[in-house]
Amino acid sequence: MTLEVIEVSSQNEMKVFNAFPGIIYRDRYKAPTFPVLESNHLQYDRLFERVEAQPFLAVKERRAVGRVAAAVHVSLSRDKIGFFGYFESVNEPGIAAALLNRAACWLSERGVEKMLGPVDLSPHERLGLLVGGFAGYHNPGMPYNPSYYQTLLEQCPMGAEIDLYAYHYDLRKPWPKKLVLVAERCARNRQFKMRSFNPGDLFSEGEMLAEIHNGSMDGIWGFTPLSPTEGAAIWKKLIGHFDPRLVLVAEINGQPAGLCLTLCPAGRRPFWGLPEQVNARLAVLAVLPQYRFQGLEAALILECFRRALRLGVITIEFSLVAENNVMMNRIIQRLGALEKNRIYRVYRRQI
């Protein structure tokens, strides 16, 4: 009955690592498809060209009983921050503790002093532990886990780093008059133009994403700079998970100024249920600082709402919204009638 935590180094071990969630979730609410970590994942995926990572398996009586991956992003090495992610475990505190201790040791050997998670390799991927709002439909790519995971992590012990929220907005309700007025005033600006995402030029769109992300997100929790190559890799990874008509780019004098990214699979219903429950996820709303307070945010949101309704979407989920993201929380307050229906938590440990 000896518990062992091993480094995943072979293809067979990687298959076990990727298949393990099936053990945890086979008798539970059907969660979204879980991301797969391939043995050559970091070598060939441009999104992770600046990431060093190591997956681990907890093995007991020759059976896998848990898993975790530790990761370091080059751009955060100066801050001595690392991550644990892909965390899954049976409901035994000793197993969770052994996994997290092994991840912490691996990170410590690379100069990391603060471990954050769950974060799947980098903050550009899945992050946070679901701690509130387990019932109902969960959008693809959003964290989902058994409720006992919170107890496992807090017994390790790990402290709360930050909470992230998901809000739902019913598009059938009257939209705020001020939103419409500000958006329409912005649209009359001759320097302003709005366009849809161009799936035929991923590298240029990657440059745009990197420029807007790096210019607008600095200072927000979890900020990790993007290179144009990484930006293109994100678009490539998201293809099939969004309708290009719901990815909006705001331009001023032909230059990128803002982005609204809404995930709603093209040609498919985003919710497998009743028509009135069709849902999409607004994952990114970003405007460069020099263009803020000019109505771009309102124009992007209003056009997103209009297009979403035309595509049959009824509710929009705003997620993930950090508790200290001043701009997004202010926008959500002004929209009103939003329901905070899920809470995700990122934990920390000093090592």
pLDDT at residue 27 tops 80:
no
Average pLDDT of every residue of the chain: 90
Say which range, 45-49, 125-129, 139-143, 229-233, has the weakest mean pLDDT: 45-49
CA-to-CA dists, residue 54 to 15, 49, 266, angstroms: 15, 14, 34
- What are the domain boundaries of the chain? 3-163, 172-313
Q: Is 244 helix (H, G, I), strand (E, B) or coil?
A: helix
Q: What is the pLDDT of residue 33?
A: 53
pLDDT score for 45: 63
CB atoms within 10 A of CB 74: 11
Q: What is the CATH number of domain 172-313?
A: 3.40.630.30
Exposed (0-12), middle (13-18) or buried (19+): which is 262, by Cβ within 10 Å?
Answer: buried
The pLDDT of residue 274 is above 60:
no
Taking the C-alpha atoms of residue 193 and residue 32, their distance in angstroms, rounded to an integer, is 36
Distance of alpha carbon 96 from alpha carbon 22, whole angstroms: 17
Angle at 178 between CA 173 and CA 181, to 5 degrees: 110
Cα separation, 73 vs 115, whole angstroms: 12
Strand partners for 256: 251
Architecture label for domain 3-163: 3-Layer(aba) Sandwich (3.40)
Q: Which of 17-21, 49-53, 101-105 has the highest mean predicted lDDT (pLDDT)? A: 101-105
